[in-house]
Structure 1
Amino acid sequence: MTGQTWLWTPPRPTPAPVGVGQLLRAYRQAHGLTQQQLADQLGFDQSYVSKVESGRRAIHDISTLRHIARHLDLSPEDVGLAPGTLSDRRRDAARDAFTEQAAASQRAWRVTRDTLNRNRIKLAKAASGLYPETYRLFPGLLARPGWVWPRPLDIDEVGLRWADDVPEPVLTGGEPETDGARPLIADGGPYVRYQRYTRAMRDLDRPTLFENRLSFRLVDIASDEDAPRRLTGGVARPGGGDAGRPMLTFGHTTYFDPVDVCETVAHETAAAMMSGGLAWPSLPFRRRVGDPFDLASRPVLPSINTLTIRADRDSASFLLHRRSAGSVATAGGVYHVIPAGVFQPSGITPFHHRADFDLWRNIMRELSEELLGNTEHDGNSSAPIDYDADEPFRTFDEARRDGRVRVSCFGVGVDALTLFAEILTVVVIEADTFDALFADMVHSNAEGTVVSAGPHRAVAEGIPFTYATLRRLIDSEPLAPAAAACLELAWRHREQLMPGLRLRAAS
Structure 2
Amino acid sequence: MTGQTWLWTPPRPTPTSVGIGSLLRAYRQAHGLTQQQLADLLGFDQSYVSKVESGRRAIHDISTLRHIARNLGLSPEDVGLAPGGLADRRREPPRGSAVEKVAGSQRAWRLTRDHLNHHRISLARAAARLYPETYRLGNGLLARPGWVWDTPVDINDIGLRWEESAAEAAISGSEPEADATRPLVGDGGAQSRYQRYTRAMRDLDRPTLFENRLSFRLLDVAEAEGAAPTLTFGHTTYFDAVDVCETVAHETAAAMMGGELAWPALPFRRRIGDPFDLAGRVALPSINTLTIRLDRGSASFVLHRRSAGSVATAGGVYHVLPAGVFQPSGITPFHHDADFDLWRNVMRELSEELLGNAEHDGSSSRPIDYDTDEPFRSFEQARRAGTLRVFCFGMGLDALTLFGEILTVLVVEADTFDSLFADMVRTNAEGSVVSTGPGRQAHEGIPFTQASLRRLVDTEPLAPSAAACLELAWRHRETLLPGLRMRAAV
TM-superposed CA distance for 1:475, in Å, is: 0.3
Q: Percent identity?
A: 70
Q: CA offsets per residue over residues 432-462 of structure 1, 9 Å max, x none?
A: 0000000000000000000011011000101
After TM superposition, the score normalised by the length of structure 2 is 0.87
Note the 1:102-251 alignment, pairs <5 A.
102-187=102-187, 189-223=189-223, 244-251=227-234
> Which position in structure 2 is the counterpart of 1:488?
471
1:321-372 CA-partner distances (Å, limit 9, x unpaired): 0000000000000000000000000111000000000000000000000000
- Residue 137 of structure 1 and its aligned partner are, at CA, apart by 1.1
How far the C-alpha of 1:173 sits from its partner, in A, is 0.5
**Aligned pair partner of 1:25 in 20, 24, 35:** 20
Cα drift, residue 502 of structure 1: 1.3
Deviation at 1:52, TM superposition (A): 10
Q: Which structure 1 residue ranges, 4+ long, deviate > 3 Å from structure 2? A: 13-17, 46-54, 59-65, 71-79, 92-96, 188-191
Q: In 2, distance between residues paired with 1:207 and 1:177? A: 26
8 A Cα contact 1:301 1:421, kept in partner: yes
Residues of 2 paired with 1:50 and 1:460: CA distance?
A: 29
Question: Any unmatched runs of 5+ in structure 1?
Answer: 30-34, 39-45, 80-89, 226-242
Q: Which residue matches 2:74?
A: none
Q: Is 1:416–2:399 an aligned residue pair?
A: yes
Q: Separation in 2 of the partners of 1:360 and 1:335? A: 23
Cα distance in 1, alignment partners of residues 449 and 480 from structure 2: 14
> Using the alignment, how far apart are the partners of 1:287 and 1:64 within structure 2?
40
Query: Within 5 A, what are the aligned runs for 1:347-362?
Result: 347-362=330-345
Q: Secondary structure at 1:138's aligned position in 2?
A: coil
How far apart, in 2, do the equivalents of 1:476 and 1:387 lie? 40
1:437 to 408, 417, 420: 420
Mapping for residues 46-445 of structure 1, pairs under 5 Å: 47=27, 55=35, 57-60=37-40, 73-74=63-64, 97-187=97-187, 189-223=189-223, 244-445=227-428
CA 1:49–1:222: 2 relative to 1, 3 Å: closer
Q: In the aligned structure 1, how far is the partner of 2:167 from the partner of 2:15?
A: 45
Question: 1:180 and 1:14, CA in 2 relative to 1: closer, same or farther beyond 3 A?
Answer: farther
Would you say the 8 A contact 2:398–2:404 is kept in 1?
Answer: yes
Shift of 1:376: 4.3
SS in 1 for 2:241: helix
Deviation at 1:190, TM superposition (A): 4.7
Tell me by how many angstroms 1:298 deviates.
0.6
What secondary structure, in the 3-state scheme, does the structure 1 residue paired with 2:137 have? strand
Helix, strand or coil at the partner of 1:486: helix
Cα offsets for 1:125-156 (capped at 9, x unmatched): 01000000000011100000000000000001
- 1:189-212 Cα deviation digits (max 9, x unpaired): 454011111111101110000000
CA distance in 2, matches of 1:154, 1:54: 39
Distance in 1 between residues matched to 2:230 and 2:189, nearest whole Å: 48
Q: Report the TM-score when normalising by structure 1.
A: 0.84
- Alpha-carbon displacement from aligned partner over 1:357-414 (angstroms, at most 9, x marks no partner): 0000000000000000001423332111000000000010010011000000000000
Q: Deviations over 1:274-304 (max 9, x none)?
A: 0011000001100011111111111111000
SS at match of 2:192: coil
RMSD of aligned C-alpha atoms? 2.9
1:287/1:376 CA distance change after superposition, 3 Å: closer
Distance in structure 1 (CA, Å) of the matches to 2:167 and 2:101: 39
Letter in structure 2 aligned against 1:383: R
Contact 2:28 2:38 in 1 (8 A): no
Separation in 2 of the partners of 1:64 and 1:103? 18
CA contact (8 A) 1:302 1:343 kept: yes
Letter paired with 2:219: V
Contact 1:118 1:333 (C-alpha < 8 Å) held by counterparts:
yes
- Rounded to whole Å, the distance in 1 between the matches of 2:65 and 2:6 is 50
**Residue identity matched to 1:479:** L
* TM-superposed deviation, 1:58: 2.2
Decide whether the 8 Å contact of 1:302 with 1:342 is kept in 2: yes
In structure 2, the partner of 1:238 is: none
Secondary structure at the counterpart of residue 58 of structure 1: helix
- What's 1:85 paired with? none
Amino acid corresponding to residue 73 of structure 1 in structure 2: S
- Partners of 2:446 and 2:43 lie apart in 1 by 47
